[in-house]
Amino acid sequence: MDNFVLNNPNLLQIEEGYSHAQHTLPSLRCPHCRHIGVFSSLMPSKTAVSYSKRGTKLLSQTIFSASFQTFLACCPNRSCQGIVLVTSDGSNKIKIVMPPELIDFSTDGLPDNLVRTLEEAVKCHAYGSYRAAAMMVRRLLEEICELNQAEGSTLHARLLNLKSKVVLPETFFHAMGELKALGNDAAHVEAKTYDNIGEDEAADSIELAKEILKALYQLQGLVSRLQARKKTNK
């Protein structure tokens, strides 16, 4: 490794440099096709570009130490073979994947506009735009109401009217109310229902939205496929 040493007036010595090092092939959910697999390396001889930096004071007292590795990897799904850039720390723990991993969801039986809106929410979450993700989940509720012809001058009123349009357990309608409140907080400065809208809140809102969509559009399809496999009575 090539080292560059700088001594400053405070007797702090900084060493940094680049080298090639062994890395562990990552298991990821592909951001391109959403399949999970062990990605293959595109770096020669399974090496990564490794960077390290260390600061020491007099008597070799370590003040800070940092290192990371970066390499290109390829999705193992032959129909995808998407490329990602992976950065891991000194213990081979993955820190950054670009493009980032996405929350998975099934598109089976979903109307196209709902798929597009949920995909946008998932991408906002993946790139750290958590308030935007919550707002897109709120938009998803608006679109569900529109598709089911729920009426009302506000989303709150339309969600109440939705109860007369679709058959769902009350828990799902309560969940929709929580998603509406979170989306309101994301969109309006004066809304204070939630103290924070971060990664966990955005992820939970997407997971709740997925369950609502399953109940509305996907459960019957699963039941129908199972029923189709019954043996015909003779």
Tokens at 58, concatenated:
């007099």
Mean local confidence (pLDDT), 194-213: 91
Compute the distance between CA of residue 186 and CA of residue 192 in angstroms, rounded to an integer: 9
Compute the distance between CA of residue 129 and CA of residue 147 in angstroms, rounded to an integer: 27
Please report, rounded to a whole number, the percentage of residues in the chain having pLDDT higher than 90: 44
- For tokens 């020669």, the residue is 44
In sequence order, the 6+-apart residues with CB closer than 8 A to the CB of 161 are 145, 150, 151, 152
User: The pTM is what?
Assistant: 0.72
Question: Which region among 58-67, 112-121, 204-213 has the lowest average model confidence (pLDDT)?
Answer: 58-67
Q: What is the pLDDT of residue 5?
A: 42
- Rounded to 10 deg, the angle between the 199-213 and 112-126 helix axes is 160
Q: Per residue in 96-120, is it b (16+ CB within 10 Å) or e — as a string?
A: ebeeeebbebeeebbeeebeebbeb
Confidence of residue 67 (pLDDT cuts 50, 70, 90): low
Q: What is the pLDDT of residue 213?
A: 96
Mean local confidence (pLDDT), 192-214: 89
Q: What is the pLDDT of residue 6?
A: 46
**pLDDT (tens digit, 9 = 90+) per residue, 140-153?**
999 999 999 999 99
Q: What is the pLDDT of residue 43?
A: 67
Question: Which region among 115-129, 159-173, 183-197 has the lowest average model confidence (pLDDT)?
Answer: 183-197
Q: What is the pLDDT of residue 72?
A: 86
End-to-end CA distance of the chain: 77
Q: Judge whether 163 and 111 are in contact, CB under 8 Å.
A: no
Greatest extent of the chain over all pairs of C-alpha atoms, in Å: 94
Rounded mean pLDDT of the chain? Answer: 81
Residue 30: its H or E element? none
CA dihedral over 222, 31, 102, 135, signed as positive or negative? negative
In sequence order, the 6+-apart residues with CB closer than 8 A to the CB of 224 are none
Question: Which region among 2-11, 65-74, 76-85, 154-163 has the lowest average model confidence (pLDDT)?
Answer: 2-11
CB atoms inside a 10 Å sphere around CB 124: 20
Compute the distance between CA of residue 209 and CA of residue 182 in angstroms, rounded to an integer: 12
Q: In a 10 Å sphere around its CB, with 0-12 CB exposed, 13-18 middle and 19+ buried, how is residue 31 labelled?
A: middle
